[in-house]
Amino acid sequence: MSTDTPTIDAPTIDAPTIDDGAATDAFVGRLFESALGAMDLFTIGLGSRLGLYAALQEHGPQTSTELAAHAGVAERYAREWLEQQAVTGILEVGPGSAAERRYTLPEAVVPVLLEPTHPAYLAPLAALVPPLGTLFERLVEVYRTGEGVSWSEFPAEAVEAQAALNRPAFTHELGGWLAAVPEIDERLSAGPSRIADLGCGGGWSTQALARRYPEAVVHGFDIDDASIAMARRSVAGSEVEERVAFEVCDLAGPADIAYDAATMFEALHDLSHPVQVLTSIRRSLVPGGILLVADERAADTFTAPGDPFERLFYASSVLVCLPGSLADGGVGTGAAIRPSTVRSYAEQAGFASCEVAPIDSPMFRFYLLRAPA
């Protein structure tokens, strides 16, 4: 994330102990706040999908009747949603009766909810979490059997939300990440080059690479048909369309082309067979070529309780990443991926070296994997 992204500070809650009333009360409070937060995500999701926030931004303070007309929803639903949003502290509200009250979208929340490339944009969280609920019974099943959940089983809304969450970082920060690694940046800036973007998802990283290197041809690969379809839609008509191509593949054989460099952003821990994929990437690189891997900045060793980011990594792993990486008889890396794991995978795949890159990011840790010369 950018250096402008607010630091997440949350109290550490120790595990409750027997006969510790204060600890029990604290845990009760935590679960209650979690329930409120979950319901906030659902109501924010409604506001986003129905265009309620967009209508408030476009038309200014409105009554429930006015918002219903502008957004094309029923007034009674608009009124309840507006009141809830005011009660939960997202919207501001003026005086008057239920029919007279005007609701305002504060300027401070506009970039968070309505600006897809802003570093503070987090509205996709409300599109990511609710759809995962449809997989709950499937998760119960695979937790008992040990099987995985293929990416095609995950809701399309969740896939789109994941791509949207990473888009601001690729838009604003990818250039800085690459500039911090002159070995890659200077090579790709020197003239025509070919770059493979593995696990490209919605393709925002692929487009950002093409913009960073105007003479490069960039190929985005992903195993998920829905992601590649989304990537093709997003690049259509853009200034980099002629230099960007997307392909669905299993990543164990991305192409027969020799690439000067390759990237893999937040995908290694999701792979069912990471060593096979890394071996394929290594073979597709020119001698001495480099693969830049970005993945979760998990703690070097297991630590509990963890900070908010560690909690995010593990929760994501329990619900999404581990089931995905166990599909097709996978190894089950999980989102709490550590440097020792990446180095082991790189060594097994035949890379000459693997080192942590000097790139500052609270969310991601970057690795440079060098192919033999």
What's the pLDDT at 18? Answer: 54
Q: Which residues contact 68 (CB under 8 A, 6 or more apart)?
A: 74, 75, 77, 78
Quickly tell me which residue has 């119960």 as its tokens.
140
Quickly tell me which residue has 């794991």 as its tokens.
341
What's the pLDDT at 43? Answer: 97
Enter the tokens of residue 21.
Answer: 């009333």
Q: What is the Cα–Cα distance from 251 to 280, expressed in whole angstroms?
A: 8
Any alpha helices (H) in the chain, and if so which ranges?
A: 21-49, 52-59, 64-71, 75-87, 110-114, 125-132, 136-145, 156-172, 174-179, 182-189, 204-212, 225-235, 274-284, 308-316, 322-325, 339-348
Cβ atoms within 10 Å of 4's Cβ, excluding its own: 9
Nearest to 205 by CA among 238, 171, 177, 180: 171
Q: What is the Cα–Cα distance from 175 to 17, expressed in whole angstroms?
A: 48
What's the pLDDT at 7? Answer: 46
Tell me the fold of 129-370: Rossmann fold (3.40.50)
Q: What is the Cα–Cα distance from 232 to 174, expressed in whole angstroms?
A: 20
How would you write the pLDDT of the chain (373 residues) with one tens digit per residue? Answer: 333 444 445 445 455 455 578 999 999 999 999 999 999 999 999 999 999 999 999 999 999 999 999 999 999 999 999 999 999 999 999 999 999 999 999 999 999 999 999 999 999 999 999 888 899 999 999 999 999 999 889 988 988 999 999 999 999 999 999 999 999 999 999 999 999 999 999 999 999 999 999 999 999 999 999 999 999 999 999 999 999 999 998 877 655 789 999 999 999 999 999 999 999 999 999 999 999 999 999 999 998 999 999 999 999 999 999 999 999 999 999 999 999 999 999 999 999 999 999 999 989 999 999 999 9
Q: Which stretch of DSSP H or E encloses residue 264?
A: strand 259-265
Q: Which stretch of DSSP H or E encloses residue 304?
A: none
Tell me the fold of 21-113: Arc Repressor Mutant, subunit A (1.10.10)
Any alpha helices (H) in 213-363, and if so which ranges?
A: 225-235, 274-284, 308-316, 322-325, 339-348
Cis peptide before 305 (omega within 30 of 0): yes
> Contact, 254 vs 280, CB < 8 A?
yes
Dihedral sign for Cα atoms in the order 101, 102, 103, 104: negative
- pTM (two decimals): 0.89
What's the pLDDT at 124? Answer: 95
What's the pLDDT at 252? Answer: 72
Q: What is the Cα–Cα distance from 127 to 159, expressed in whole angstroms?
A: 9
What's the pLDDT at 276? Answer: 95
The ranges assigned to domains in the chain are 21-113, 129-370
